[in-house]
Amino acid sequence: MAVRTERTPAPPPTERDDGPPGPEGAPTAGRRMPLLPLLSVFALALPLSVVCAVAIGASGIGWGRALSHLWAGLTGGTIPADRVAEYTIVWELRFPRAVLAAVVGAGLSAIGVAVQAMVRNALADPFVLGISSGAAVGANAVMIFGAFGALGVWALSGAAFVSALLAMALVYAIAGSAQGLTPVRLVLTGTAMYYGFSAITTFMVFAAEHGEAARSAMMWLLGSLGGANWDAVPIAACAVLAGLVHLGLSARRLNALAMGDETCAALGVDADRLRRELFVVCAAVTGAVVAVSGAIGFVGLMVPHAVRMLVGADHRKVLLLAPLMGAVLLVWVDVLSRVLLAPTELPVGVLTAVIGVPCFVVLMRRRGYAFGGRA
């Protein structure tokens, strides 16, 4: 006689408030940390990092004098006549450079989050759309051939921004189809345009008659904040702030987009319209940032992953923490670029790549990610 055994049913899985799944291949498992303490830590770390960046340098200005010059600039105080040169270094060179590094880091990190949601690929970054290489064409035209000279001090940033917008229009025109702006077409078109624009900039560098112009162009292509000044900060800051506000207001829709077009439709979100919005915002902010800093890579790739590992994939949380973390990261990377081989300055993009490539490899090894899906 057969004896029937009764199997105890497994308990139902517990529900976790980790938000929606992240982009394909994104790390979403693991224990999450509370958002508020992390925000508090990075909100405090950012101004401290900026102050440290102002005080650290190769000019021999001590911390005490550097901080006193910074305080004098902030409060409108006076300084001794024999320290005007030091004050100029602190207030006109180091401080705007540190502020611009924070703005650029925040912008690249937030746009990295948006691009990864837009194309549903965790290995995407702000430059996957080909906007940065398009901006490089305009910037190189100024540095190598003296184009747009009538714009004066705005020639470089203005030409880079305009060429970035033209690149955006070209990518949009090619990627668009009867099915709308699909992630695959965006990635393929942006990659193709990236190589095309890169070929143009390489030709321009080789065609340069002056070696110094070619060197400046290469520094810009690798990313550099060496040309930072107070004129560049407001434009970049306004563009980044506007982008952050728009993305913050769109966080719930980004959550829906990360779960697929079908889920978007079920939740009443027009996925194609949202992608068009994100495309314009990402292109405009990337163009404004690249115009003042050059093509600084890996920040928009690394920071979103680090934030998701800490707080989960909910864009309402990610878009609060990612800009702060990116700002702190780039401020310190820029400090290293100034002091590692002082008085020679390293391109910022070199150091972000040194940090980013190992992170990229670890990500692929940990998640078993292959391009287009799981390995």
Instruction: Assess if residue 62 is contained within a domain.
Output: no
Report pLDDT for 373: 41
Instruction: Assess if residue 5 is contained within a domain.
Output: no
Contact 249, 306 (CB under 8 A): no
Instruction: Assess if residue 137 is contained within a domain.
Output: yes
Instruction: Assess if residue 64 is contained within a domain.
Output: no
Report pLDDT for 27: 47
* CATH number of the domain encompassing residue 116: 1.10.3470.10
Report pLDDT for 356: 79
Cβ contacts of 98 within 8 Å, gap of 6 or more: 49, 50, 53, 54, 331, 334
Number of independent structural domains in the chain: 1
Instruction: Assess if residue 153 is contained within a domain.
Output: yes
Structure tokens at 92: 């006109």
Report pLDDT for 366: 62
Report pLDDT for 153: 64
Instruction: Assess if residue 333 is contained within a domain.
Output: yes
* pLDDT < 50: residue spans in the chain: 1-17, 25, 27-29, 368-375
Report pLDDT for 3: 47
**Which residues span the domain enclosing 356?**
47-53+83-365
Report pLDDT for 1: 46
Report pLDDT for 43: 96
Instruction: Assess if residue 24 is contained within a domain.
Output: no
Instruction: Assess if residue 338 is contained within a domain.
Output: yes
Query: How many angstroms separate the CA atoms of 207 and 216, rounded?
Result: 14
Read off the pLDDT of residues 8-50 as tens digits, 9 standing for 90 and up: 444 444 444 455 666 654 544 456 788 899 999 999 999 999 9
Read off the pLDDT of residues 158-198 as tens digits, 9 standing for 90 and up: 888 888 888 888 888 888 777 667 778 888 888 898 889 88
237 residue type, one letter: A
Report pLDDT for 265: 84
Query: How many angstroms separate the CA atoms of 327 and 340, rounded?
Result: 20
